[in-house]
Structure 1
Amino acid sequence: MSWDYLQNQQTWNSIRSKIKALVSRQPNYTSLEAEDLLHEAMTKLLERPDRIIKQPDAYLRSMVLNMMRDAQRVKQYRELGSEDEIWQSLQDPTPLQDEILEIRQQIEVLCSKYKQLSKYNRTILEMSRIDGLTHKEIAKCMNISVSAVEKHIAKALKILSSD
């Protein structure tokens, strides 16, 4: 395509109206954005004067469509969030096999320690941690002082947390 071809006002108006119609049919594009895309495409085209283009209308149309696709990709990428968010969304939340094995071993150790607790300590601990009773309520149910409840819970937790 030569510069002379573009200088012809009738040719330019024809190309311009076709490109504007193409862009205007797309959702989320205004007439001004169509003009911007066309001018950007023309600028890119004129930066390469050594190139001979047999069908300038089709070439400009393809350039504008490609620029619209690129803009849509950028928009979608930005909507996804940061790279960290993207990677986190792609990660499988299922624990790895070695993590599962480690957790099972920890549960076995905790169960064996739980079995070491006296029935009395176990009952008080369950009333506190599982049933959600206050120390005062436990003391009243067990007929002991609040201080004794606190001591039994402390003793049970010490046994459970020991190595």
Structure 2
Amino acid sequence: MPPKNQSDTCDEIIFSTFFKDQIKALRNFIFYKFGNLDHAEDVAQEAFVKLWQNCSSVPLEKAKSYIYTIANNSSLNKIAHEKVVLKYEKNFKSLDQTNESPEYILEEKQFQVKLLKAIENLNEKQRVAFLMHRIDGKKYSEIASDLNISVKAVEKRIHLALLSLRKEIDL
């Protein structure tokens, strides 16, 4: 049991539970924002290390905001002059390609390349909100909380992202 002057965040069991609940979402947030999985994993780990080092001054109810702020600032400092590139690969091994025509496979690959390029061309704010909603399956309110913006701002970012994607892909 922690001393009375120590925050609940310093309790190893509470911290461990918080870590397990938040690490994946934090890593994905940084990955979507900066496009580098290795960097995202490193930054997420560093954010939790800093939280542990400062656990006595960070109450548990502010810990989530703290790790997101630390991770975001750390990433901005590390990648100040680099262009953000987002790359995804889909695994087609599970796809039964024996029934697919070569033309269909080619069209599908071309569409995938076009879609990824269109996602890369979104501005950072739209891309982050869009991917948090579509890939992580987060609700608008969760995204708003994570990004420290209003739900209306999330709605607008995702709406503008969809309009941009439709325009670029010509659906």
Fold in common (TM above 0.5):
no
The two structures have a TM-score, normalised by structure 2, of: 0.40
The two structures have a TM-score, normalised by structure 1, of: 0.42
Q: Please say which structure displays the higher CA radius of gyration.
A: 1
Higher relative contact order (CA 8 A, sep 6+): 2
